[in-house]
Amino acid sequence: MNPPRTDARRHHDPDVRGFASDNYAGAHPEVLAALALANGGHQVAYGEDAYTENLQQVIRSHFGPTAEAFPVFNGTGANVVALQAVTDRWGAVICAESAHINVDEGGAPERVGGIKLLTVPTPDGKLTPELIDRQAYGWDDEHRAMPQVVSLAQATELGTVYTPDEIRAICEHAHAHGMKVHVDGSRLANAAAALDVPLRTFTNAVGVDLLSLGGTKNGALFGEAVVVLDPDGIKHMKHLRKLSMQLASKMRFVSVQLEALFARDLWLRNARHANEMAQRLAEGVRAVHGVEILYPVQANAVFARLPHDVSERLQKRFRFYFWDEAAGDVRWMCAFDTTEDDVDRFVAALKEEMAH
């Protein structure tokens, strides 16, 4: 059979790579193959399809027998739906000042979810029980939004990774105050690869209540999931997902991508490779005089400080973002398809621009 005709044309150079975001990468070929596999015939809409049903077993193999996955379109949607599920109208969420829900989601948790965020400055993006206590008070004060949830990112927005013991301490502390614990896991796979432990080791095994499970940054075309680890304690997820405009009618195409990633080891292979490329990048950058690496390189991000004019020239050769432009801080991200040659060419270009 001849392939179907298409009038689509390629509008980009597939050999061009950058270090701006792991979202810049395309979809992994195994994910694309899974999408084609799921495309034949008709399947029931809105999540009553065979792929979404099978995804539940895949998720339980990672997060325990009571876990339940609710596929959604994107990470912001996953976070908003998850946080709505564990807050009352008067509730608030404690998070790091640098958290994605605070600085990179356009106010969606507050505007769409109606949730007050109580932020805490952190030196490395990581919360601790002591830092949480800066905002964990006033439950009986009707003049203050009530702290009901602690939200942490794993890996953090600064590329650092919580150990299982660190998350356990947060969960015990939060639960002692009657608060739930949510994990923004857009890069959960990178954290597991960095720690070299199963996903359950720092989620359900240490007391996390629910999480946002990333797919897009790790090789999916689109799609994430809210994973509820204890369904008895969290109700109405399917209603909140619909209310938040995150219910996919053709959900099989979200679910099959997550199945392709997590049914075997594709999620881990992709994350390990991205992390390894970040380590290679960090090693190369450390050898460049005048460039400072700002945080421990534990996942797939490298944060650095260098002269502003150097960054501007380098951005004309490789795409990346300023993190704090006034300070000269930049962020370089590696993806599942970043190659050793990509890294080496970038380091060589950095050396050239620094020499100027």
Tell me the per-residue pLDDT of 28-38, one tens digit each, with 9 for 90 and over.
999 999 999 99
Which conformational region is residue 79 in: left (phi greater than 0), alpha (psi within -120 to 50 degrees), or beta? alpha
Residues of 79-111 as b/e, b for ≥16 C-beta within 10 angstroms? bbbbbbbbbeeebbbbbbebbbbbeebeebbbe
Give CA–CA dist 155/131, Å, rounded: 18
Going by pLDDT thresholds of 50, 70 and 90, the confidence category of residue 6 is: confident
Nearest residue to 317 via CA among 287, 347, 282: 347
Instruction: Write the CB contacts of 268 (distance below 8 Å, at least 6 apart in sequence).
Output: 189, 192, 193
**Residue 117 binned pLDDT confidence (cut-offs 50, 70, 90):** very high
The rounded distance, in Å, linking the Cα atoms of 139 and 136 is 8
- CA 226 – CA 221 distance, rounded (Å): 17
Residue-level pLDDT at 2: 66
pLDDT band at 259 (very low <50, low <70, confident <90, very high): very high
What digits encode the pLDDT tens for the residues 221-251?
Answer: 999 999 999 888 787 999 999 999 999 999 9
Residues 6+ apart with CB under 8 A from 197: 164
Tell me which fold the domain 29-262 belongs to: Aspartate Aminotransferase; domain 2 (3.40.640)
Q: Are 226 and 70 in contact (CB under 8 A)?
A: yes
Percentage of residues in the chain having pLDDT higher than 70 = 99
d(CA 270, CA 189): 8
CB atoms < 10 A from the CB of 290, how many? 10
Q: What is the mean pLDDT of residues 97-120?
A: 97
For residue 1, pLDDT beyond 60 = no
Q: How far is CA 219 from the centre of its chain?
A: 12
* % of the chain beyond a pLDDT of 90: 94
pLDDT of residue 230: 83
CA distance 233 to 8: 48
**Domain 266-355 of CATH type 3.90.1150.10:** yes
Q: What pLDDT does 102 receive?
A: 98
Domain assignments of the chain as residue spans, ordered by start: 29-262, 266-355
| pTM for the predicted model, two decimal places | 0.96
pLDDT per position as a tens digit, 150-191: 999 999 999 999 999 999 999 999 999 999 999 999 999 999
- pLDDT of the residue at 190: 98
Higher pLDDT pick, 230 / 210: 210
pLDDT of residue 3: 63
